[in-house]
Chain A
Amino acid sequence: MNKKFVLGIYDDEDVLLHAIENIRATGTKIYDVFSPYPVHGIDDVLGIKRSRLPIVAFFCGITGTSFALWMQIWMLGFDWPMIIGGKPHIALPAFIPVTFELTVLFAAFGMVITFFIVSRLKPSLRVNVFDKRSTDDKFVMAIEVKDGVTDLSALNKLLRTNGAVEVNEKEVVK
């Protein structure tokens, strides 16, 4: 199914931020904004909620800590007890470096894998580029057009009064 979008092209960061605020205030839903670089404060004005990835990191980290401690205590304490350097079988200070490393490893891999899954990032992914200039020197604001609902001329006017230097339409194959 094809989807139609109206693209507002901006060439100034501050104008863009104010435009997003004003356009959202009119009740228009913005599909996404494309920018050549990260813009400070754009998440807030777009109303994007904070990522929950840190929570994933915390629990993956805890899993790593528990796994590392369990592994070392079970291996060196129960499965194959060995005397190393005259220390007790379960010598916690010696386990800390491995525990730390596995905590970091689990947290890092857990976050990366979760991010790939959540954002559906995979080799076969096809990405629609709305306007190639959004990788160079323009900001592109995409608003989805719903047939029979969206008033194109009003939308055009709204974008232009809020500082868009161009307004284009684009159809993408989903």
Chain B
Amino acid sequence: MTEERLIISRKTNNRFFIMIAVGAVLLIAGIIFAAAGGGAEHGAEGGHEAAAAGHEAASWSKRLFVNLWMNNVYFTGIALIGTFFVAVQYVAYAGWSVLIKRIPEALSYYLPIGGVLMLLIYLFGSHDIFHWTHEYLYDVNDPRYDPIIAGKSGYLNTAFFLIRMVVYFALWIFFFMWLRRESINEDLYGGTAYYHKSIRISAMFLVVFGITSSTSAWDWVLSIDTHWFSTMFGWYVFASWWVSGLAAITLTVIILKQNGYLRMVNANHLHDLGKFVFAFSIFWTYIWFSQFMLIWYANIPEESIYYLERLGGNGGHYKWIFFTNLLINFVFPFLVLMTRDAKRQMIMLKLVTIAILVGHWLDFYLMMMPGTMREGAGIGLIEIGTALLFLGIFLLAFTKGLTKASLVPLNHPFVEESVHHHV
């Protein structure tokens, strides 16, 4: 197999920096508008109502921290899915995916950045994001004492939360770097030893991932709605990350192919990636519905409050996102990718994967905003700015990872099988 190196031109790199700069400018402009409270921004308006209702006011800093947190959870998830995808392919002895293997590998280059940002955002913004971090909730003598949250303090306390966060990232980065090192050594020295070792590493990682993907979802997303709980939640966040990660991999493969790279990747590989995206957008919907229907049917107030906040509650603020979420993440991919031909065409796959990436960003928005911003949430300068900022940083890390090794594994034992893949 001949080496194929990706070259990121200075121009492309500058585009990422411009993306970060534009994001930062929009973000700062958004903060200035929100802080000035000019009424033009939704945040200020809703803030007063929320304050009147007895909640903390949704200030600009709260909006900023929640946005930073949301984007970081979303992009960290996609980065983590990179290693997960590679591990699944190893454990399944998959041959077809060898040609595109370097793309999910490179996705995980964001993990260290995500870890540092996660820690910083939590340290500076924990009170703005997580209601349970307030000390007074645990003080029996305080009128704001909350027996339910106090009862959860064995798990939800700052020290244990931080330990868990560090452990998750340490484990993820450790396994990512280990798998990546074996993969690159395989390029350099050849032989099947690296392949067999990678299978064992992947199996270990999958056990770690199975536990940490659920617990990190409880920590980072579920604990925002501290009183509420759902046994489906770990799966729900995983399903959202997984389908976004698959969409990111597919989209990158198509963009690289259209720029003249990955010459041996053909419609058969795209077909399989398309099947993955199609299947797991349905899987996400299945999880979504399983969670929704049980809560809707049982109609227990402490559970149904979650959907009330997203439908009729909060002044109906989230209703359109609630239904858009289902349309963009289920109906659209389901109908468009149903036929065989659509899964083999770049244009169709491009449309669907971009829709899914936007859709699951909205999905995370819907998971985090009602519990923090209440009626004060909006999609304005702050939201778009933060998203651009994170996208720019993510793409810088991702493309840097892509350039570090040949885009096609050179000595993988199944690389020939992948070249001749036919479905």
Contacts and interface: CB of A to CB of B under 8 A. Distances in A.
Nearest to B338: A58
A71 B226 CA distance: 41
Interface residues of B, number: 10
A94 B297 CA distance: 8
A56 to B, nearest CB: 14
A44 B289 CA distance: 41
Contact of B292 (A41, A58, A93, A97): A93
Interface in B326-352: 338-340
Contacts of B296: 93
Contacts of A97: 293
Contacts, number: 20
Contact of A85 (B292, B299, B339): B299
Given A41-B422, A86-B299, A93 B340 contact: no
Contacts of B292: 93
Interface string A35-46: 000001100000
A54 interface: yes
A96 interface: yes
Given A41-B422, A86-B299, A54 B339 contact: yes
A52 to B, nearest CB: 12
Contacts of B338: 58
B422 A93 contact: no
A93 B293 CA distance: 7
Contact of B293 (A41, A50, A58, A96): A96
B295 to A, nearest CB: 10
Nearest to B293: A93
A50 B339 CA distance: 12
A91 to B, nearest CB: 9
Interface string A100-115: 0000000000000000
Contacts of A94: 293, 297
Contact of A96 (B289, B339, B422): B289
Nearest to A85: B297
Contacts of B293: 93-94, 96-97
A174 B250 CA distance: 51
Interface in B273-327: 289, 292-293, 296-297, 299
A85 B293 CA distance: 13
Contacts of B340: 50, 54
B421 to A, nearest CB: 9
A47 to B, nearest CB: 17
Contacts of A40: 422
B343 to A, nearest CB: 12
A132 to B, nearest CB: 29
A58 B339 CA distance: 10
Contacts of A50: 340
A91 B292 CA distance: 14
B368 to A, nearest CB: 24
A54 B342 CA distance: 14
A93 B422 CA distance: 40
Interface in A149-168: none
Contacts of A54: 339-340
Contacts of B297: 85, 87, 93-94
A40 B268 CA distance: 12
Interface in B189-241: none
A4 to B, nearest CB: 35
Contacts of A41: 422
A143 B54 CA distance: 85
Contacts of B339: 54
Nearest to A94: B297
A75 to B, nearest CB: 18
A119 B296 CA distance: 46
A58 B293 CA distance: 26
A18 B296 CA distance: 60
Interface string A76-96: 000000000111000001101
A19 B296 CA distance: 62
Contacts of A85: 297, 299
Nearest to A50: B340
Contacts of A58: 338
B3 to A, nearest CB: 28
20 contacts: A40-B422, A41-B422, A50-B340, A54-B339, A54-B340, A58-B338, A85-B297, A85-B299, A86-B299, A87-B297, A93-B289, A93-B292, A93-B293, A93-B296, A93-B297, A94-B293, A94-B297, A96-B289, A96-B293, A97-B293
Nearest 5 pairs of A and B residues by beta carbon? A40-B422, A93-B296, A93-B293, A41-B422, A85-B297
Interface of B: 289, 292-293, 296-297, 299, 338-340, 422
Given A40-B422, A86-B299, 11 more contacts: A41-B422, A54-B339, A54-B340, A93-B289, A93-B292, A93-B296, A93-B297, A94-B293, A96-B289, A96-B293, A97-B293
Interface of A: 40-41, 50, 54, 58, 85-87, 93-94, 96-97
